[in-house]
Structure 1
């Protein structure tokens, strides 16, 4: 880390901060807690999966509708950090609130709010990438952010939470209380390690504010939509990203509830997810190194191929060993694919309008995230088998990878 500037370190450390949320609330503890509550309420596993998928879609729809105007407003001097703080606060407080309920429906409501806070803050966090580093360092800074998040932000609070849930009874802490404590740990971890970015990162590229900030933001947004043909390369990339990142997010959100539905125990799921975080650390850095050698576009395509394999193997999954193999495959490419997509886009956009363009980046990602979990939920509900929901996600990677491959072959996007 000594090779990074103070601003780069502070930006990277936010991945350390919010990754605790990603693994505990999105991928591991909360989904298992939710499935436990739905079983107690007499809800079938496939319907519980559907409810979780629909709730994820609703949350992402809300933030997707907000993203373009939020992004446009964030481009003005001082607004990026202000809005980042607002969504950070929403995310931290709603995550902490999860500790104070034990009913499945309130859990879903709070989960939706946490997703809004987490995703809203990430919109501005991603856009800060152009402010903290130079274009030639973006791949490295972005991949190190994901890597540090995996090895520290995810692993340390996750290990503590797992230990508390699995062995808390020996010190008089029942599993239910231990689960709720894990949500408080996540909120505190997120808030504390967000302090460096709040203190040290500043908006370098901006537009001067004008009278009627909201109105002028809408006018700029309309102008960008109207002139989208002038940003053909960016639009084509976003179209490909729309599909393949939807597949990635669907796997993240649905993996644990799917594992539960096919009969895997909570201990197996939690330990496999822990190993995933550890293995993902060097793999995310490796993606950055290989991108420098082979080009980020080739590494993005490689990640998409890995996810196609994951979907097929997920459909065929029968045993705990199968789930372990899937977990390791996800670990090999999840962080690298997300990080390189972020930096690839960051190198394409005009810096003074970075937040507006990252607003589009976010809306494409979030609207896509509506489709994937809903697709998974629909096939799970109609067929009565969650494995068909996993298989349906292949469609997203095939379309996204195809569009991205066409843009490269036509040389409408930079290949490095």
Structure 2
């Protein structure tokens, strides 16, 4: 026990914390890309796809539009699930995380703007652009996260990760507020959703592009390229390193236990992100403006939750703090299932926001605490793999259950609640102190 405590106490000496400007530039990427999540995946475009683009097919077979939406999200995440660990290993091999982050950001911005060209009935075009933008967004998430072990001592990863998530939610708020202002103006002059939603996508792309500039100006690439011979195929190198990474499961058991746990509870989080607006529109009867205001409130609660959770995680430990957050998720799910009033759903939204900010920030920070510093890109590739698997399992299960039940969203919601319950049970099997100590040991090949 004393040896473990000594190793844990020495972890903060592993690296020097990056300068404040660089920390803010790292966190500001969360501010930049959060508009994509809130507008495209969560609020405006998800409801627009189901209610306008795919409305005709839904009228013939209830639940089909929601299933198509979740299938597109699942397809994008399946591609990232396959490519994420390989790209992470390649990023470590060539020390090009920042370059790959820039490429993914540019693709996401362009694809988001092009979503404005898909009108009612143009389902294939809308799904293709959605898949492309979601792939680029998720890849960018992997790359920005892999910088965390390089810029923050392990003992401060919780609060620094929390800063990023908290700032990200405010970025989502800014984008939503800009879209709400435009929608209100357009609605007053008689425009319909088919008129104003495309403009909100352009607004979202523009804010993403502008807000990401500090990241590319000031975030440093500290890694150095491999000094060995240039490989014939970086894909083979990536696959080889992924195989090696998986072979370390016995040396890093708590890291891999947590990756399984994260996959389960994140399946519930991923479902809420892409279904919340659809549920509020189809079940609770919210209008476009009400949807945006609801998600703004959720984002504000999430920003506070992420900020406070970062300190709680560093003070009380990641496992107890995450367990508390999952209990809040369970309470929010039960309330959403039981309520039939708008007030009840607003209350559930506040709980969802607080819990979302906590689990998103906490999961990333705990992976950072368990990850060997010299293999950050590789192991954060696995973190991305877990998140992408969750983004396939959760939304697709919701879509299938919703379709089989002829569009009954309340029944589908029960599957989402189950993910949080199982995730909580698995979380209690993870030993944080052992996980942190294991990362300090040299990996055997």
Query: Aligned-pair distance for 1:348?
Result: 1.2
Say yes or no: does 1:88 pair with 2:102. Answer: no
Equivalents in 1 of 2:361, 2:187: separation in Å?
A: 39
SS of the aligned residue for 1:229 comes to coil
Structure 2 partner of 1:25 = 40
Farther-moved stretch of structure 1 (74-83 vs 172-181): 172-181
Query: Aligned-pair distance for 1:377?
Result: 1.1
**Distance change (3 Å), C-alpha of 1:50 and 1:217:** closer
Farther-moved stretch of structure 1 (129-138 vs 353-362): 129-138
Farther-moved stretch of structure 1 (339-348 vs 287-296): 287-296
Contact 2:155 2:314 in 1 (8 A): no
Contact 1:165 1:174 in 2 (8 A): no
Query: Aligned-pair distance for 1:4?
Result: 6.3
**Distance change (3 Å), C-alpha of 1:34 and 1:66:** same
Say yes or no: does 1:257 pair with 2:278. Answer: yes
Contact 2:245 2:378 in 1 (8 A): no
Structure 1 partner of 2:163 = 144
Query: Aligned-pair distance for 1:296?
Result: 1.8
Equivalents in 1 of 2:368, 2:96: separation in Å?
A: 19
Equivalents in 2 of 1:387, 1:209: separation in Å?
A: 56
**Distance change (3 Å), C-alpha of 1:111 and 1:294:** same
Query: Aligned-pair distance for 1:46?
Result: 2.1
Q: Deviations over 1:2-61 (max 9, x none)?
A: x96111010011111001111111111101211221564251452222221122111111
Query: Aligned-pair distance for 1:177?
Result: 2.8
Q: Structure 2 length normalisation: TM-score?
A: 0.87
Which of 234, 244, 249 aligns to 2:265? It is 244
Structure 1 partner of 2:14 = none
Equivalents in 1 of 2:38, 2:137: separation in Å?
A: 12
Query: Aligned-pair distance for 1:413?
Result: 3.6
Say yes or no: does 1:393 pair with 2:408. Answer: no
SS of the aligned residue for 1:41 comes to helix
- Which consecutive residues of structure 1, in runs of 5 or more, have no partner in the other structure? none
Contact 1:147 1:282 in 2 (8 A): yes
**Distance change (3 Å), C-alpha of 1:398 and 1:175:** closer
Say yes or no: does 1:5 pair with 2:20. Answer: yes
Which of 352, 356, 361 aligns to 1:339? It is 361
Which of 321, 328, 334 aligns to 1:306? It is 328
**Distance change (3 Å), C-alpha of 1:32 and 1:199:** same
Structure 1 partner of 2:30 = 15
Contact 2:48 2:193 in 1 (8 A): no
SS of the aligned residue for 2:339 comes to coil
Structure 2 partner of 1:233 = 254
Moved over 3 A (4+): 169-175, 411-415
Which of 156, 169, 182 aligns to 2:174? It is 156
Query: Aligned-pair distance for 1:317?
Result: 3.0
Contact 1:161 1:182 in 2 (8 A): yes
SS of the aligned residue for 2:119 comes to coil
Q: Deviations over 1:178-205 (max 9, x none)?
A: 2111111111111111111112112224
Equivalents in 1 of 2:368, 2:318: separation in Å?
A: 12
Contact 2:252 2:435 in 1 (8 A): no
Structure 1 partner of 2:427 = 404
Over aligned residue pairs, what C-alpha RMSD do you find? 2.0
Equivalents in 1 of 2:144, 2:257: separation in Å?
A: 23
Structure 2 partner of 1:328 = 350
Mapping 1:10-409, distance limit 5 Å: 10-38=25-53, 40-44=55-59, 45-103=62-120, 104-105=122-123, 106-151=125-170, 153-170=171-188, 175-208=193-226, 210=228, 211-212=230-231, 213-266=234-287, 267-384=289-406, 385-408=408-431
Farther-moved stretch of structure 1 (206-215 vs 126-135): 206-215
- Which consecutive residues of structure 2, in runs of 5 or more, have no partner in the other structure? 1-17, 438-445
**Distance change (3 Å), C-alpha of 1:175 and 1:380:** closer
Contact 1:244 1:397 in 2 (8 A): yes
Contact 1:130 1:346 in 2 (8 A): yes
Q: Structure 1 length normalisation: TM-score?
A: 0.93
Contact 1:131 1:202 in 2 (8 A): no
**Distance change (3 Å), C-alpha of 1:109 and 1:91:** same
Query: Aligned-pair distance for 1:302?
Result: 0.9
Equivalents in 1 of 2:235, 2:83: separation in Å?
A: 13
Equivalenced residues, count: 411
